[in-house]
Structure 1
Amino acid sequence: MNLKVDGIEVAYGRRRIIHGLSLPELPAGSLVALVGPNGAGKSTLLRALAGLERMQGGLSLGGRDLTRLNAAERSRLLAYMPQQLPPGIALGVLESVIAALRVGNEPDVLRASFEALARIGIEDLAEQSLDGLSGGQRQLVSLAQLIARKPQVLLLDEPTSALDLHYQLRVMDCVRELVREHQLLAVAVLHDINLAAACADFIVVLHGGQLYASGAPAEVLTPALLAEVYGVEARVEQCSRGRLQVLVDRALPRARSGAQ
């Protein structure tokens, strides 16, 4: 089912974070990378889509108005993965995945939970306590919780930020496989432009709480965009295997009025 975002506004008091944001319809079976500089509104937008921030505007999935659903109904369709699990959760890893499912048939829950851990390659952590894990391991468990729930849309806030290179690629490969196999939609906030270029079907660029550009990576990622949005001088080239690469040469000077 396709996701439609129409004129979303998010504000904290009088301060508007997202300004009338509309996106091209995001199709099922695709991985969308949400990119932009710090403060662009990426995480705020993701939380608004998940129903965790008060918002105005239209949001529908397969023609169904999500703004009319209660929190439980919405979370079954759109599952949100935060940047990190909160500390102080006294559960084992497998227990935490089971708890995320909130269903009754125990044998099915156990199997689905263990399969989710195995899919990412962390089944060896099943009996460990969440409190004893590293930040990166906790991030992987959080993803396993989402996989087990089998939502229609995965909302991933910096899913690779605490991971080493091996698990960054493993996680993104896992998300891509899920998207293809089950015709899901994944929207992921990513800071690594090259990872976004390599993994995403579409890139959405936010700047100042507004849509700056969207489309296929090869169409969106240009030296002009990188200079305007990120303030860097960069080249966008293809490697010997035909993959898109962003090579940053230097930071561009900022105007005095824009200095922090």
Structure 2
Amino acid sequence: MSLDLDSVRFAYRRHRVLEDVSLSVEEGRFCALLGPNGSGKSTLAKIVARVLRPESGSVSFGGRDLLAAPRREHARVVAYVPQSGEAPFDQSVRDAVLLGRTPHIGLRPSRLDREVVDRAIDQLGLTDLRDRQLSQLSGGQAQRVLIARALAQEPKVLLLDEPTSALDLRYQIETLQIVRAVTRTQGVTALIAIHDLNHAAHFCDQAVLLHGGRIVADGPPSRAYDPQVLSSVYGLDVRVNSGEGGVVEVRPSVLEPTTVGANGTDGP
């Protein structure tokens, strides 16, 4: 099975954000959505999550129309982790993660539901915080709670909108390792909107580069990371170092100051 988007278009009033975007992500693949701010990464994730409705186009998984599916059915397939780690109301970490079981719970949480919740909490390193209130957590800890909640949902498709932006380096790496492990061991299809090209190259199977609302590159990072394309998209010289295993490092050139002279005054 695969997640398939076909000719998706979207605009915020008169501002065109996505223009005929089509892509396919196979089951069990970890796909990075890349591009500068405003390129449409987050918008694309929100459309699959049904936070936003496209003007036209289709979104399906395994041939099932995700845009027309009943909400509960959609929630059994798709889990979404938004950018912000702030909770709309206060509750314990355990109760917040338990919300991920909502599409599966009958009259009350079962033993299996609680086991899934505890496993997700342990996966994200939140075991010692499980009884703490969300208001007592840092932004990074709260973001990890949202990821644990999504994993507890046991989705077929996992969407993450810049989930590592509030995390320190250690938790960035651990979070990406967890998502990669979930895709490979559980066959989950994952899409992550992310800015870090090196992290995407190291952890993701597929890289989709967006620019001006269109896909300008799509494939494994070793193929999608064309230096000329990256340089054009990001507006600076980008170098890609590759090895036998693919992309090793992406290095942008250092921008030289052009408006400040050596004595600290404005220069020519």
Greater CA drift, 204-213 or 230-239: 230-239
Query: Out of 217, 220, 232, which is 1:216 matched to?
Result: 220
| Distance in 2 (alpha carbons) for counterparts of 1:243 and 1:216 | 9
> Could you list the per-position Cα deviations for residues 60-88 of structure 1 after superposition, in whole angstroms to 9, with x for gaps in the alignment?
10011222213332122111100123345
Q: Is the CA contact 1:6–1:21 (under 8 Å) kept in the aligned structure 2?
A: yes
Matches within 5 A, 1:32-111: 32-55=31-54, 56-102=56-102, 103=105, 104-111=108-115
Query: What's the secondary structure of 1:232's corresponding residue?
Result: coil
From the CA coordinates, give the structure whose radius of gyration is larger: 2
Query: What's the secondary structure of 2:67's corresponding residue?
Result: helix
TM-score, scaled to structure 2: 0.89
Q: Is the CA contact 2:221–2:246 (under 8 Å) kept in the aligned structure 1?
A: no
Larger relative helix fraction: 1
Amino acid at match of 1:79: A
Distance 1:252 1:22, change over 3 A: farther
Instruction: Tell me the residue number matched to 2:205.
Output: 201
Amino acid at match of 1:37: P
Q: Is the CA contact 2:7–2:20 (under 8 Å) kept in the aligned structure 1?
A: yes
| Distance in 1 (alpha carbons) for counterparts of 2:206 and 2:88 | 36
Query: What's the secondary structure of 1:117's corresponding residue?
Result: helix
- What is the root-mean-square deviation of aligned Cα atoms in Å? 1.8
Q: Is the CA contact 1:33–1:196 (under 8 Å) kept in the aligned structure 2?
A: yes
Q: Is the CA contact 1:233–1:251 (under 8 Å) kept in the aligned structure 2?
A: no
Q: Is the CA contact 1:232–1:252 (under 8 Å) kept in the aligned structure 2?
A: no
| Pairwise CA distance, 1:223 | 1.7
Q: Is the CA contact 1:234–1:246 (under 8 Å) kept in the aligned structure 2?
A: yes
TM-score, scaled to structure 1: 0.92
Amino acid at match of 1:60: S
> Could you list the per-position Cα deviations for residues 46-70 of structure 1 after superposition, in whole angstroms to 9, with x for gaps in the alignment?
0011111011211110011222213
Greater CA drift, 135-144 or 238-247: 238-247
Distance 1:251 1:58, change over 3 A: farther
Greater CA drift, 32-41 or 5-14: 5-14
Distance 1:221 1:243, change over 3 A: closer
| Pairwise CA distance, 1:184 | 0.9
Instruction: Tell me the residue number matched to 2:260.
Output: none
Query: Out of 122, 126, 130, which is 2:126 matched to?
Result: 122
| Distance in 1 (alpha carbons) for counterparts of 2:6 and 2:256 | 34
Amino acid at match of 1:224: Q
Moved over 4 A (4+): 239-243
Query: What's the secondary structure of 2:195's corresponding residue?
Result: coil
Instruction: Tell me the residue number matched to 1:140.
Output: 144
Query: How many residue pairs are counted as aligned between the two chains?
Result: 252
Contiguous gaps of at least 5 residues in structure 2: 258-268
| Pairwise CA distance, 1:240 | 9.9
Q: Is the CA contact 1:8–1:58 (under 8 Å) kept in the aligned structure 2?
A: yes
| Distance in 2 (alpha carbons) for counterparts of 1:35 and 1:89 | 32
Q: Is the CA contact 2:100–2:151 (under 8 Å) kept in the aligned structure 1?
A: no
Instruction: Tell me the residue number matched to 1:29.
Output: 28
> Could you list the per-position Cα deviations for residues 195-239 of structure 1 after superposition, in whole angstroms to 9, with x for gaps in the alignment?
001111000000011111100101111220121000121211137
| Distance in 1 (alpha carbons) for counterparts of 2:147 and 2:36 | 24
Q: Is the CA contact 1:218–1:244 (under 8 Å) kept in the aligned structure 2?
A: no
| Distance in 2 (alpha carbons) for counterparts of 1:2 and 1:79 | 16
